[in-house]
Structure formats: structure tokens, C-alpha cells
Structure 1
Amino acid sequence: MSHLVVKLGPDGVAAARTVKYLRAVVLGCWVVGMEWVEACLAAGRLVPEGPYEAKVSHFQLLPVEPYTVPLESWQGTADASA
């Protein structure tokens, strides 16, 4: 598989994140909208995928906790027990 064609929302984000979508991402395949297929048919050849690539919404990213540093009082307790 080299491409996955998906339905894109008005913001260019893939409408659904299915197992096929995740598999394509993991395999490094192009994830493009149907507009890419239409452009290829109109041109009679493959056209660059970039303008038709599905965008990633920041809501789709995994949440990351900010890095925290132990409190000085905790560090002092740890040093005292060593």
C-alpha cells in the first residue's frame, strides 16, 4: 500500500481515524483526500500528493504531561536517607 484515500473535513483533517488510517500512518503511506484522485484523473498522471495530504488536528495528538521537577523538600528528604 502506498496511498490511503480518505474523506477530508472542511479543515483538511481526516474525517475518521480508522485502523486502516493508523496502519497507513505507521507504514509511512500518503494519506490523501479524494480530491487527489480526481486531480490525477484530470491530469492523466499522478500529481504531487502534498496539497491533498490529510492534515493532523492538534486534538488528535496524544496528551503530554509537562515535565516536572521534584520539590526541594523532597530532594532534601532523599538526600538525607542516602
Structure 2
Amino acid sequence: MSMVAGIDMGRILLDLSDDVIKRLDDLKHQRGLPRAELLREAVEEYLERQNQAKAAIANALGLWQGCEEDGVEFERALREEWE
């Protein structure tokens, strides 16, 4: 385990295609950041999106719970509006 900016960090060996490495290097030069920092940002953003997607699904489950209206009848009524 190493320390970066006062934060304990583990290491991961990651195989990437030559194209991805080239694109990462291009971004590294544009942003003036090391590859490792760009990869940390990418992983953190990915994990955050996964958490948001999981929360959205959890919030949607049971949406009709406690509703007195039948979901199928509600859908039929909506479709009749389209005709």
C-alpha cells in the first residue's frame, strides 16, 4: 500500500489496449495530469454512476405500492388517449 496526497492507496495491475493508452496519454498531455490520476478519476466517476443507477432502480421499485388504481387499467387508459 502506498500513500498519495495523504491517502492510503492499493495498487492494481491493469492491461489496456495500445489505442486506449494512446488516448489516455493524449488526455494526460491536455490536462497536465499523470495517467494514474486520470484513471483514479475515471474509476471514481464510474463507481458514482453505478451507485446512482442502483439508487434510481431502488427508488423505482414498488412505485405502485399502496396505489388503489390498477396498473394495467391505468396503462389502458393512457393508451386510449393516444388513439
Name the TM tier (shorter chain).
under 0.3
TM-score, with normalisation over the residues of structure 2? 0.23
Higher helix share: 2
Find the structure with the greater CA-based Rg. 2
Q: RCO (CA 8 Å, sep 6+): is it higher in 1 or 2?
A: 1
TM-score normalized with structure 1 length: 0.24
